[in-house]
Chains A and B, each alone.
Chain A
Amino acid sequence: MRRGLRAAQHGLVGVAVIYLLVPVAVVVLFSLQQAKRTGLPFEGPSLRWFDLIVSDESFRSALTSTLKVAFGAAVTATTIALLGTLATARGMVRRPGLARTAGLAPLVVPPVFIGFSLLLTFGEIGWTPSLLTVYLAHVLVTTPLAWAVLQARFSRFDFSVEEAARDLGAGVLMTFWRVTLPLTWRALVGAAMIVFAFSVDEFVVTLFVVGPDDTLPVLVWSRLRRSIDPSINAIATILLIVVLASAFLAWLLLRTRKGGLGEEQATPGDPGSLVPSLQRAERREEESVHV
């Protein structure tokens, strides 16, 4: 009975994973197709479509635009989130609950609404759609992502180390540079990578505010409107690689490592983060001194 249930569970998980991964596999597979069509039977493999798009001027300019926007958004959104979450966690904000909500709020506003309202706003103040408006829109929608990551980090940050640094003679900037940054850079870079991945792939809001320079998702979409061209598979695959790579990097940086040197220092009430045998040995030593 129990075995049957377990098998059913495994089967369900398997189906779900296949459902999620098959479309991805299909795109990647057909990007390697030799024939000039998207469909079975598979012929190849061949890199001809990658070859084609790499020499395609519109693809190259879209890739450059995408990377520019993503890089700008990563730096800006992470900086905003850093300042906001740091001030909130340090207790410098009078209404911390409100600040936390505000930082995460854009997550729950529908992207179509954000895109449309940005289009109207930029129009009102007379800004023509361009990469600048795309960048600003991306900062808006990605700041909550960085905010969530950094808020989690600073919520378990022991700010007394900052006070200790101040006490030992470090000014505000020196304290950040010598203490806060070395202890939190993983979260900062991780947050930036998540923002980067999200921005590379962002489509809905981008479509409203994009100007003459397409980003990659917009390029894919506009080509699809004409015809299903196998080169789109190649573009989508490149997108996938960029996003996966940055997400993987973010995961590497953000996973919690027990007892890692970059983590919070050990406290006596926290046995998991101490080296237990060492601690016990030391206790014995100190007790024997006492006796």
Chain B
Amino acid sequence: MSEVAAVADGTTSGVRTEAVDTAADAGGAPIVRVRGVRKTFGGVDAVAGVDLDVRTGEFLSFLGPSGCGKTTLLRIIAGFERPDAGSVEVAGRDITALPPNRRPLNMVFQRYALFPHLTVRDNVAFGMRLRRLPRREIAARVAEMLELVQLTHCAGRHPNQISGGQAQRVALARALANDPTVLLLDEPLTALDRAVRGDMQQELKRIQAEIGTTFVYVTHDQEEAMAMSSRIALMSEGRIVQLAPPGELYRRPGSVFAAGFVGDANLLRCRVEQHAGRSAVVYAGRPLPGLDPAGRSGEVRAMVRPEDLKARVASGDDAGELVGELVSSTFHGFFWMHRIRIGHELLVVREAGDTSSIRAGDAVALEIEPGRAVLLAD
């Protein structure tokens, strides 16, 4: 309980995350513990063995392409799907066998799922009325929740009289009114217009920081996951392939899949070779500095983000540097994207600023920002 209090005090997400991390490192039990969960639909593994600890107060996202099992995993935690194997614990209690109405969790649905026959106020009060809370308490809590999502003026309207963005805020207020141990969100912004979506991201972050509830969020949008999460569970084919904070996932992706799914990536086809008496990762005949090929041999893949490559016109004495030809450049307002051919591969280089120093057809020398190349697992 003291953890939650500490979280509620934190005003910025940075403060909050640190506070929670310390608590978790100090041996705080995870709020949700998923063990060995599997689910098959018609012979296809939707969730193929997932172990996961969700920390108290964090904003954890399940990120992955459609069909990766992220929604199924969320629905298993919510109780809408029974896992074929494995268990789900919330706050130390095994809830695997409980129906959704007896779990201390609430969910925000992709298409709002507001009750069309009830007003916004009655929608928010729904859960509390089921629990037969005193009328006064319900009214106060409804007012508090509507204020939290800034919809006090819509209390008397029906769901068909409000916009999509408002509807999703009502859904959020309705779920939070029950004071859930963990809030589950199933792609809640997908049905919204692009312009509204950005606002809602900020809104969700603000609300989470304000109330300190643990959020488990499903999305296929990597930018959304990066912008909001304290940690991201990257999923593929029913498994969590990497679980890390956004920065780490971006900077140190563990696999080719992770590198390609999160952000833009240049995947360099390299070889581990002996170079100057030591084993090194060699790309286009040149060893890449800062990469340790320990335990690897033969073909390996390294990744460099487009913004970590610098290109300049080759000067002739570029011995030991990567040299290629600029194939094309496109202008994106505040940066340029250059496509550069090295051997048979095309590398993408991002150059900040509104003028470009190189032109198509130029022979260019490439430099990798020190420490920014990453060796990927196979």
Q: Which residues of A contact B (CB under 8 A)?
A: 158, 160-161, 163-171, 174, 178-179, 182-183, 259, 261-269, 273-275, 278-279, 282-283, 286-287, 289-290
In the complex formed, the residue of B with least CB distance to A168 is B127
* Contacts A163-B80, A265-B159, A283-B195 given; does A168 touch B174 at CB 8 Å: yes
Contacts of B71 in A (CB 8 A): none
Cβ of B164 within 8 Å of any chain A Cβ, yes or no, is yes
The answer to whether A267 and B126 have CB atoms under 8 Å apart is no
Chain B: interface size category: 35 or more
Cβ of B360 within 8 Å of any chain A Cβ, yes or no, is no
Contacts of A267 in B (CB 8 A): 111, 164, 191
Contacts of B100 in A (CB 8 A): 163, 166-167
Contacts of A275 in B (CB 8 A): 160-161
In the complex formed, the residue of B with least CB distance to A290 is B199
13 contacts between A and B (CB under 8 A): A163-B100, A163-B109, A167-B79, A169-B102, A261-B158, A266-B160, A268-B163, A273-B160, A274-B160, A278-B162, A282-B162, A282-B165, A286-B163
How many contacts A-B (CB < 8 Å)?
120
The answer to whether A282 and B163 have CB atoms under 8 Å apart is yes
Which 4 interchain pairs have the tightest Cβ spacing? A265-B116, A168-B127, A160-B113, A282-B163
Which of A168, A182, A183: most chain B CB closer than 10 A?
A168
The answer to whether A166 and B101 have CB atoms under 8 Å apart is yes
Chain A interface main SS type: helix
The answer to whether B116 and A263 have CB atoms under 8 Å apart is yes
In the complex formed, the residue of A with least CB distance to B203 is A289
In the complex formed, the residue of B with least CB distance to A265 is B116
Contact of B130 among A170, A182, A261, A273 (CB under 8 A): A170
**What is the minimal beta-carbon distance from A100 to any residue of chain B, in angstroms?**
20
In the complex formed, the residue of A with least CB distance to B106 is A167
The answer to whether A163 and B116 have CB atoms under 8 Å apart is no
* Contacts A167-B101, A168-B174, A282-B165 given; does A179 touch B80 at CB 8 Å: no
Cβ of B52 within 8 Å of any chain A Cβ, yes or no, is no
B163-181 interface mask toward A, CB cutoff 8 Å, 1 = contact, 0 = none?
A: 1111100010011001000
B300-340 interface mask toward A, CB cutoff 8 Å, 1 = contact, 0 = none?
A: 00000000000000000000000000000000000000000
The answer to whether B127 and A169 have CB atoms under 8 Å apart is yes
Alpha-carbon separation in the docked complex, A160 to B114 (Å): 9
Contact of A278 among B79, B116, B161 (CB under 8 A): B161
The answer to whether A266 and B159 have CB atoms under 8 Å apart is yes
The answer to whether A259 and B198 have CB atoms under 8 Å apart is no
The answer to whether A169 and B191 have CB atoms under 8 Å apart is no
The answer to whether B131 and A169 have CB atoms under 8 Å apart is yes
* Contacts A167-B106, A274-B160 given; does A283 touch B196 at CB 8 Å: yes
Alpha-carbon separation in the docked complex, A259 to B159 (Å): 10
The answer to whether B116 and A264 have CB atoms under 8 Å apart is yes
The answer to whether B115 and A179 have CB atoms under 8 Å apart is yes
Known pairs A158-B111, A268-B163, A279-B163 / 18 extra A-B pairs, C-beta < 8 Å? A161-B114, A163-B100, A163-B113, A164-B174, A166-B79, A166-B80, A167-B79, A167-B107, A168-B175, A169-B102, A170-B130, A183-B116, A261-B158, A268-B164, A268-B192, A282-B166, A286-B199, A290-B195
